[in-house]
Amino acid sequence: MAASASGDARFTALSQPVLHGHGDLVLLPAEHLDPSSGVVTTGTFRMRETRAVRTLEGTRQHPAGHPTRRIHMRAMVYRGPYKVRVEEKDVPVIEHPNDAVVRVVRAAICGSDLHLYHGMMPDTRIGHTFGHEFVGVVEKVGPSVQNLQVGDRVMVPFNVYCGTCFFCARGLYSNCHNVNPNATAVGGIYGYSHTTGGYDGGQAEYVRVPFADVGPSKIPDWLDDDDAVLMTDALATGYFGAQLADIVEGDTVVVLGAGPVGLFAARSAWLMGAGRVIVVDQLEYRLEKAREFAYAETRNYAEYDDIVVELKKATDGLGADRVIEAVGAEADGNLVQHVTAAKLKLQGGSPIALNWAIDGVRKGGTVSVMGAYGPIFSAVKFGDAMNKGLTLRMNQAPAKRQWPRLLEHIQAGYLKPSDVVTHRIPLEHIAEGYHVMSSKLDGCIKPLIIPSQD
């Protein structure tokens, strides 16, 4: 457990809400607090402080015995395409009775964050804090929260969801209808633009977690923070992707993309009984990881004139039974597609990998799409998909639905999620982290973000 003992004691002592304000610290008058819930009992959920006590230390006990609280934090903010920096921001407040505020202990940069970073996702606003993979310690809970307590060590699925709408009631947590005013086609996601609801994300010291009784789970004592943070998206998504591929024993499974999701999908394909797993990428160091970590055959598409032909040759002319697309909007391998989508933003995403999946799978086969795309049109070869009688399955993963079984697999020793982690980057250096991840420098596969107070 990464949180220090002194840190835990502080959170126990200060189980009162953070107020929204301009100073660094605020004096919290006791008469405005409900001690049992730790929630402001007068006024609105957002209050302006009446008096600020400035200190670099951030939190301290007021001499008169009133708890004083930190109201500013360090957070990554978006400053335009390819530009991010760390700024002071207000610590999030309880805005809904079932909210929690979580102090982030570990966050991560996801490959899909790069779509935001590169300016591909519509309605990505200046000042937005990215980050949908994070774990931490509950700092504060709203009055209706029953399942979490201040001080609990939690992992938070990347989906924001209510649990009871038409879709959540059917287990489609990633498609929740009650959390995203900005779009009905997309559920709620932390730190992923206003197109997914306008929630600031976890690449910060603190984050607001709506529906605290539904999303977060306490992290088992035996699970390390570095492993837990990968449960929140990358591992859950890879495992979900392998399930959507409908793998039966002996299937040949091709995984496009050897990033964290592709690596986990390849590993998961074996759990489902695959007979062969072939991973395709252009980065040799990632293919090496696919061989070591995912026990997969590999193909570097840059070495072939036409990777679709190679996939056919590798499968005796048949094509793969299942293809898992774990690349998404910035797929490479076709200059026109990549430049029009990833550079010029004229497509919702570069569908190169998706088209390779459609053409590389066998007739009657299944394509599972885990790659993220923007909502604008993309030049997908849909005719081939129709003529081949393919099953196309896709979704954002309902991460928490995967957790019970994944925890069993991890406990059984079948895989260790943090094996894909290559970099640990302090929050203050996150701009460099984005550049390293985006440019694929230094053997980068999965960078974790360490908040400064950790």
Partner 1 sequence: MPYTAAKPPLPETPEQLRARIPGWGADLDPADRPQVPRERTDLPNGAHWDFPERQPETYPRERSIEHEMLPPVFGTAQPLHGLSGRIRRYSYERFSEGRAAHWLLLIAADRVEAGGAHLRSMLTLRPDNPITETGILSEVRRHPVASRRGRPDVRHQVLDPLIVAGPWILGGLAAAGVVRALRRR
317 torsion bin: left (phi>0), alpha (psi -120 to 50), beta (else)? left
Asked if 335 interacts with partner 1 (CB under 8 A), we say yes
Question: Considering the complex, what minimum distance in angstroms separates the CB of residue 5 from partner 1?
Answer: 29
Residues 95-114 that bind partner 1 (CB under 8 A): 95-98
Asked if 174 interacts with partner 1 (CB under 8 A), we say no
Instruction: Please state, in angstroms and rounded to a whole number, the distance separating the CA atoms of residues 305 and 354.
Output: 18
Residue in 146, 221, 305, 383 binding partner 1, rule: CB under 8 A: 146
Give the contact letters, 2-41, x = binds to partner 1 (CB under 8 A), - = no.
----------------------------------------
Tokens coding 283: 């980065």
Find the part of the chain contacting partner 1 (CB under 8 A) among 8-16, 32-40, 225-233, 342-350.
342-350
Strand 391-394 to strand 361-369: parallel, antiparallel, or no bridges (unpaired)?
Answer: parallel
Asked if 367 interacts with partner 1 (CB under 8 A), we say no
The size of the interface with partner 1 (CB under 8 A), counted in residues, is: 113
Asked if 411 interacts with partner 1 (CB under 8 A), we say no
Asked if 128 interacts with partner 1 (CB under 8 A), we say yes
Question: Considering the complex, what minimum distance in angstroms separates the CB of residue 7 from partner 1?
Answer: 26
CA atoms in the 13 A half-sphere facing the CB of 278: 24
Residues 238-297 that bind partner 1 (CB under 8 A): 240, 243-244, 249-250, 252, 268, 270-273, 275-276, 282-284, 295
Residue in 178, 203, 237, 298 binding partner 1, rule: CB under 8 A: 178
Instruction: Please state, in angstroms and rounded to a whole number, the distance separating the CA atoms of residues 192 and 120.
Output: 11
| Cross-strand bridge partners of residue 367 | 323, 392
Asked if 48 interacts with partner 1 (CB under 8 A), we say no
Instruction: Please state, in angstroms and rounded to a whole number, the distance separating the CA atoms of residues 303 and 314.
Output: 14
Asked if 345 interacts with partner 1 (CB under 8 A), we say yes
Residue in 48, 218, 343, 424 binding partner 1, rule: CB under 8 A: 343
Residue in 162, 235, 255, 278 binding partner 1, rule: CB under 8 A: 162
Residue in 29, 35, 81, 220 binding partner 1, rule: CB under 8 A: 81
Contact 72, 89 (CB under 8 A): yes
Contact 424, 448 (CB under 8 A): yes
Asked if 218 interacts with partner 1 (CB under 8 A), we say no
Residue in 23, 27, 58, 213 binding partner 1, rule: CB under 8 A: 213
Contact 255, 367 (CB under 8 A): no
Distance of CA 241 to the CA centre of its chain: 15
Instruction: Please state, in angstroms and rounded to a whole number, the distance separating the CA atoms of residues 434 and 84.
Output: 8
> What are φ and ψ of residue 398, in 5° steps?
-75, 90
State which residue, 60 or 194, has the beta carbon closest to partner 1: 194
Residue in 66, 381, 388, 409 binding partner 1, rule: CB under 8 A: 409
Find the part of the chain contacting partner 1 (CB under 8 A) among 28-36, 133-141, 220-228, 368-376.
368-376
Instruction: Please state, in angstroms and rounded to a whole number, the distance separating the CA atoms of residues 350 and 4.
Output: 44
Question: Considering the complex, what minimum distance in angstroms separates the CB of residue 383 from partner 1?
Answer: 20
Instruction: Please state, in angstroms and rounded to a whole number, the distance separating the CA atoms of residues 290 and 259.
Output: 9
Asked if 177 interacts with partner 1 (CB under 8 A), we say yes
Burial degree of 247 (CB within 10 A; 0-12, 13-18, 19+): buried
Measure the N-to-C terminal CA separation of the chain; round to a whole number of Å. Answer: 11
Residue in 340, 375, 380, 418 binding partner 1, rule: CB under 8 A: 375
Instruction: Please state, in angstroms and rounded to a whole number, the distance separating the CA atoms of residues 194 and 175.
Output: 15
Asked if 391 interacts with partner 1 (CB under 8 A), we say no
State which residue, 99 or 133, has the beta carbon closest to partner 1: 99
Strand 100-108 to strand 446-450: parallel, antiparallel, or no bridges (unpaired)?
Answer: antiparallel
Instruction: Please state, in angstroms and rounded to a whole number, the distance separating the CA atoms of residues 382 and 20.
Output: 50
Asked if 83 interacts with partner 1 (CB under 8 A), we say yes
Asked if 388 interacts with partner 1 (CB under 8 A), we say no
Asked if 206 interacts with partner 1 (CB under 8 A), we say no
Asked if 364 interacts with partner 1 (CB under 8 A), we say no
CA atoms 123, 124, 127, 130: torsion sign: positive
Residue in 37, 68, 174, 180 binding partner 1, rule: CB under 8 A: 180
Question: Considering the complex, what minimum distance in angstroms separates the CB of residue 60 from partner 1?
Answer: 27
State which residue, 25 or 207, has the beta carbon closest to partner 1: 207
Query: Using alpha carbons only, what angle is made at residue 181 by residues 179 and 185, rounded to the nearest 5 degrees?
Result: 85
Instruction: Please state, in angstroms and rounded to a whole number, the distance separating the CA atoms of residues 130 and 373.
Output: 17
